[in-house]
Structure 1
């Protein structure tokens, strides 16, 4: 089965459609699938729902798709770095479903594991719990959260082999692995594709069975808030 494609647009060919649900990996601007996001922008696919820890910044990451108004709804934990997101939400142009970070990660993991829902104490007594089933376990109240199953998962890894085994680097591992598993189709972009068999099996973070298509490319790797101290 061919998994390696020549470009992001080739890897997404035949997968995109208006109104689809996409799970995207990344944490802040670390480990976001920037090449695939740019290809979605170029394709012009609209009315998208994204499940992602954040929405990038105004001119990078999912923020690019907000600028072109291709996103209808965000399921996110944090959106504080994106002024266009705030503007669209406050004006009623964009739907928003806030999730605590751990809940969002577990919703993705659960969906990928075939678990339709789970109970958690996180959010009990807050607006997060509004409209959700409540249940007591050992005298504690929990709320029911649904697993996420997306039409497409887009993720970014450090290395891969041609079979799709992925190795993430540091912070990029956080949301990429659960996001990858919860998509009906997963497309991954990496910095380097190495020969099959050269990756240490004990160092593989995501088995290739979850990855359907794969590209390698150059990445910008922006930093959200660069803080430095004066030279001594």
Structure 2
């Protein structure tokens, strides 16, 4: 079996990046984001990107780095707060935006990874989300057609994986990483720890290694997006 482990994000992304590509990125807020891969894409200078991700990071971190360097042409997201540069580019017409309800975005990724070209959902019916989409009635209720997402590249972050790519996500980081990993034609996964095959309990594997093509281990900053504390009693 070909070794999937690479020394760093730049080498793992070598030969995969091209201008105008579509990227699916895992993470929720700043939790479980593939920050090493994002930094490597910034350094590679790849432009005109379309990125499917739950959110767009924050200023100067996460996908905010690629917004700062104007490498993202279009964001398809559920949440776009916490990022002043995102707001500035969108309001000035420099950045395309496609809003996706959170569950719809997750299901679009999952569907693409499962080979399902589209599905119908009630979410968004009668709103701007439904504009330009096919509407069909089932049992007297309207549903809109949403297309599955197939990305040129998926970049995700897991807690632990073996060398074949079998991976475990830790708590909230399981979120969009799992469906994003499956919908990429190629998946690059970064992890905190790589172990040998057989060391992980097969019953707790979240993502089978068949979906993972390249794997790196690295240090992650793990910022907190919004720190909320209570006063001492």
Q: Which runs of 4+ in 1 moved over 2 A?
A: 229-232
RMSD, matched Cα:
0.6
Q: Name 2:125's counterpart in structure 1.
A: 124
Tell me, in whole angstroms, the C-alpha distance in 2 between the residues paired with 1:134 and 1:114: 22
1:44-68 CA-to-partner distances (Å, cap 9, x unmatched) read: 0010000000000011000000000
| Residue aligning to 2:82 | 81
1:190-215, Cα deviation, whole Å (9 max, x unpaired): 00001110100110000000000000
Match of 2:25 in 1: 24
In the TM superposition, residue 2 of structure 1 has moved relative to its aligned partner by 1.6
> Would you say 1:193 and 2:194 are equivalent positions?
yes
Matches within 5 A, 1:58-73: 58-73=59-74
Q: Measure the CA separation in 2 of the matches of 1:152 and 1:76.
A: 17
Question: 2: CA distance between counterparts of 1:88 and 1:14?
Answer: 29
SS at match of 2:24: strand
Q: C-alpha distance in 1, partners of 2:15/2:41?
A: 12
* Aligned ranges 1:104-119 → 2 under 5 Å: 104-119=105-120
**Number of residue pairs matched by the alignment:** 232
State TM-score, norm by structure 2: 0.99
SS at match of 1:184: coil
Partners of 1:231 and 1:40 in 2: CA distance: 43
Query: What CA distance in whole angstroms lies between the structure 2 residues aligned with 1:227 and 1:171?
Result: 17
- Partners of 1:122 and 1:174 lie apart in 2 by 19
Q: Which runs of 5+ in 1 are unaligned?
A: none
Secondary structure of 2:119 counterpart: strand
Residue segments in structure 2 that go unaligned for 5+ positions in a row: none
Match of 2:152? Answer: 151
Deviation at 1:229, TM superposition (A): 2.2
C-alpha distance in 2 between matches for 1:168 and 1:145:
27
Q: How does 1:1-232 map to 2 (within 5 A)?
A: 1-232=2-233
SS at 1:154's partner residue?
Answer: strand
Distance 1:67 1:90 in 2: 15
